[in-house]
Structure 1
């Protein structure tokens, strides 16, 4: 059989709530609110206290909750002090009767504002800082050197021999810097590991951003 563990704070809260409930009932009855109306006043004060306390615990902007919590606490504390012998309950002043009579409307206004006050929305992922885009890899400075093309040899004008067939002109030699060649080899290895094929000259030229002759020369050295 489970044991019921008594909490001293809970017991104290029950005692304080019962006494405050009784004092509010006596004050409302002395102010002319007899019958069931006198019992409704302490319930209204306690409900406003609970609503304001829950609002303070669950929302960051709780200035309004503090305002209504102080009002409900003042009503409860005022009833405790008034019924402690400082006020003649047989001759309640007119201003206190007005306060007691106007309390239901005030409590309804406070409860409505606490229940329907919009909260500040939390920032969504679209408002977050944009993701950092990695900077492209720097391309080394490339200097393209072209070898001078040899002048075609012409036969002597005095000898009327048929003109020989023109020999194919070889592509000019392009000097490839070692640093660029190493960088291109890494790109070619990555391309082979990703696609399974050797990298072609056009793809290498796009990746390096170099002229076509230099890309052809690099591709030839990578073969």
Structure 2
């Protein structure tokens, strides 16, 4: 008798459990709880969704602009990685930089610009050629190098300077970071970025940034590298 009662109680509880689960499933379906996530209709919802993924809505928007800038720069992920590796391991030789820049023709080529930035360093020059192939980027880079040389204002000696009418854009800002990694006013953030990028390595860093700019998932730890890159003031200013 006791065994029968026990079994009866088990069956009763089992039936209640099945009914409960079934009712829950029906309720979830009716309320849309199991439906595929939808795109938020307003900025507040978008920001909330972005925060859940580890990025603010502003950072995601800047990522889109960065992607456009990289497309304008016209380099591949591997080319970016090679240039970043040079930026992380080599420094611009500022000794004689002003003279090297002043000796450039009015319309210097990518090779001439690379040689002025990295004299005698064929590997660095080769890595930077794809970055300097874009004329707009090249002239903006020359202006940045001119500032590094100690030239505070345009000078007659720099024949190409008065030919430069370009406004610094996102692509040029990215190129500036790759060429020297010391854009004006970015000291602390650049130092943080350099430390992070060195820990990941240039190739891994490039892969992370490429995934982010293509709208793909970036791991929670990898987000630090993305935030460090877009947080550099030169990029932040030009890519917003």
Structure-2-length-normalised TM-score: 0.20
| Bigger radius of gyration among the two | 1
Structure-1-length-normalised TM-score: 0.21
Greater relative contact order structure (CA < 8 Å, 6+ sep): 2
